[in-house]
Chains A and B, each alone.
With several copies, the nearest count.
Chain A
Amino acid sequence: MSILIDKKTRLMVHGITGREGMFHASQMLEYGTKIVAGMTPGKGGEWVLDGKVPVFDTAKMAVEATGANCSVLFVPAKAAADSMLEAADAGVALIVCITEGVPVQDMMQVRSYLDQRGTRLVGPNCPGLLTPGECKVGIIPGHIASAGGVGVVSRSGTLTYEVLYALKARGLGVSTCVGIGGDPINGTSFVDALEMFEDDARTDSVVMIGEIGGSDEERAAEFISDRMSKPVVGFIAGRTAPPGKRMGHAGAIVEGGSGLAVDKIKALEGAGVKVAEHPDAIAELVAERGRKARRRVKR
């Protein structure tokens, strides 16, 4: 098992004929993801990726013709809101928006509409999802993770890769890696992902990678304390970031008093989470917890 994506995922790629869309679609295909459709208005009828993937003009047509149940978006920021709504209306259950730079007011409207319909969104401004050995939706390099029992959820993109890389180096496999993205308004929160990992039979521990800004990590700490039985290892980026300075993501603005790394770390530690000092230490902590768990089992 895994969460969100697996071998049954039938993927549609929005913006497949663009440079990034095409590059990552070929990477996903190579990884083994079932890409059933591409979507680029005006290019319907073409076949791409060595004639393996048909392109459609509209998401509705793509879903009707191929039974796609998941959409991944490589579209310009100004088209992202429209593409998310289009995918939801076409009936896919899961939308993964890689696009960064989506206006935040667009996201509030999109979330409101998607919530009404019960469509799950991951992102925007995220690296997507990876269930090692089964399915990759997004841009996480496939070769840096192997299958296993560690669930990974992260607000960051490349920092996540660091962690996957270190886990693999220690022989630790991953159930699913969920990049939720760093934008202030997004689809899937830490709590959403933790809840899914808690319920997932394959996942036996979770790594959670947060950042300064917002209070999603604090809510996650509350959830972990109240509801999680599985061990969680955490990391918060931005301990040395000067308060109030904007750090690339809108999500990284330190909002008056709350949102500081120190508060998030305190909240997580209060919930029993082992918080790593630097990214390389995460894998070490996961391995340690694993050893302890095994020791407990042995006794």
Chain B
Amino acid sequence: MKLHEYQSKQLFAQQAIPIPRGRVAMTAAEAKSIAEELRGRVVVKAQVLVGGRGKAGGIRLANSPEEALEIATQILAMQIKGLPVRKVLVDEAANIQAEIYLGVTNDRAARRPVMIASAEGGVEIEEVARTAPSKIARLHVDPLLGLREYQARDLAASIELPREHWRAFIDIARGLYEAYRECDATLAEINPLVITGAGTLLALDGKMVVDDNALFRRPKLAEMRDLDEEAAAESEARKYGLSYVKLDGDIGCMVNGAGLAMATMDVIKLAGGAPANFLDIGGGAGADKVAAALEIILSDKSVRAVLLNVFGGITRCDEVARGILMALQDVPLSVPMVTRLVGTNEEEGRRLLAAKDLPTATTLAEAARLAVAAARQGVAA
């Protein structure tokens, strides 16, 4: 789960990381009154869960409360990469002398957290990593010991941070690591971490991604989820423990397992079709999950055929079949559906579907061919 900049910065502030004074506003009028409170120049920043806000014009400087009103009005009317801007953060403008990057994430290969710093913050860190990897300092953290003071100091030394900023940098790095730990984050980053004209460090922008699997023990973070920012279908899917991503094609997919779901999409493409979505019904999916999944797929108007591909491991084929039949009681099947059930209790599953005249395939390639043909027939009809 991605958090907004303003949420991430609030979590940072709880770890005593200095952030600019400022607040989030839902309306332009609110933005103006925040600007009045802050006095002086402010920055109005679109709060949307995509990158590239700056380039899209979603981050702008305002010299007065009136200008803040005007800019907030404009930004709140924007869409950035298809996402409507519903909130703006109004922050005191900072006097920036230098921009640092500081982040912590999980290193899969090393199986431990890695803290990353660069004296060249502010730009795309991936770009620096690609073109000048020596400018990126990496430091692995023992997951049982946490980030120690000396490690944060090593990092400061590695990026050749002037020594007068070490104390502040060490405290911020340890605070950031704590935020990452306390929030079960998979990413916590400050970019840029600026050195101000007054010689202090300030987290000007912040980003956190929280491990969805850990939300059960982070109830306060779970409440931070911004439902506005998710497609309705994706929110609906999550409610049932389904993983759904909308795509551009016309063949709705319902598959158990992410790997098989991706392979199914690959095979649809090989067969000349295009998947309308990724949908993983997960392991141990019961009838209610399958029914919900089918409803979500059919609610997408561009879907012209459905391919249901289930290989039964934890999810038993008979359960899947019952789920489909149950869903069909509520949702009339507006497009053709090809099903493929193989694995645990497969005969029982196929028997249940065949009894209701639902076409079944045995190989994945065959299922994809049938689905692509069915979608074309739909278009032709």
Contacts and interface: CB of A to CB of B under 8 A. Distances in A.
Direct A–B touching in the complex (beta carbon < 8 Å)?
yes
Given A20-B314, A141-B344, A158-B311, A109 B144 contact: yes
Interface string A214-235: 1110010000000000000001
A139 B314 contact: yes
Contact of A59 (B150, B267, B283): B150
14 contacts: A42-B166, A57-B163, A58-B150, A58-B153, A100-B282, A103-B214, A141-B344, A159-B257, A159-B311, A215-B109, A216-B109, A238-B265, A249-B259, A278-B364
Given A104-B106, A158-B259, A161-B313, A77 B213 contact: yes
Interface in A98-130: 98, 100-109, 111-113, 127
A112 B258 contact: no
B112 A157 contact: no
A250 B213 contact: yes
B148 A279 contact: no
Contact of A219 (B109, B258, B261): B109
* A79, A108, A127, A184 pick with most chain B CB within 10 angstroms: A108
Contact of A158 (B148, B213, B257): B257
Interface of B: 106, 108-109, 111-113, 126, 129-130, 142-145, 148-151, 153-154, 157, 163, 166, 181, 184, 186, 211-214, 216-217, 243, 245, 247, 255-263, 265-270, 275, 278, 280, 282-284, 310-314, 342-344, 363-365
Contact of B313 (A41, A112, A140): A140
B42 to A, nearest CB: 31
Interface of A: 20, 24, 27, 41-42, 44, 57-61, 77-79, 82-83, 85-86, 89, 98, 100-109, 111-113, 127, 139-141, 144, 154-162, 165-166, 182, 184-185, 209, 211-212, 214-216, 219, 235, 237-242, 245-252, 256-257, 277-280
B270 A157 contact: no
Given A100-B282, A158-B257, A279-B364, A42 B163 contact: yes
A81 B295 CA distance: 35
A83 B150 CA distance: 7
A247 B343 contact: no
B245 A245 contact: yes
Contacts of A246: 243, 245
Q: What are the 3 closest A-B residue pairs judged by CB atoms, nearest first?
A: A156-B259, A248-B258, A158-B257
A70 B144 CA distance: 25
A156 B256 CA distance: 11
Contacts of B213: 77, 101-104, 250
B108 A157 contact: no
A278 B262 contact: no
B94 to A, nearest CB: 26
A247 B278 contact: yes
Contact of B365 (A112, A184, A240, A280): A280
Contacts of B126: 256-257
A108 B157 contact: no
B311 A161 contact: yes
Nearest to A213: B108
Contacts of A157: 256-257, 259-260, 283, 313-314
A237 B145 contact: no
Nearest to B113: A108
B265 A240 contact: yes
Given A86-B148, A219-B109, 16 more contacts: A20-B314, A42-B166, A85-B148, A104-B186, A108-B111, A109-B143, A158-B343, A159-B260, A161-B342, A162-B263, A215-B108, A237-B259, A242-B245, A247-B245, A248-B243, A248-B282
B266 A103 contact: no
Given A82-B150, A113-B142, A247-B245, A212 B262 contact: yes
A239 B259 CA distance: 11
A141 B313 contact: yes
Given A239-B266, A280-B365, A141 B343 contact: yes
A214 B213 CA distance: 18
B181 A105 contact: yes
B144 A141 contact: no
B89 to A, nearest CB: 24
B275 A240 contact: yes
A172 to B, nearest CB: 16
A85 B150 contact: yes
Contacts of A41: 153, 166
A105 B150 contact: no
A141 B344 CA distance: 6
Nearest to A211: B259
Contact of A184 (B106, B181, B217): B106
A187 B109 CA distance: 11
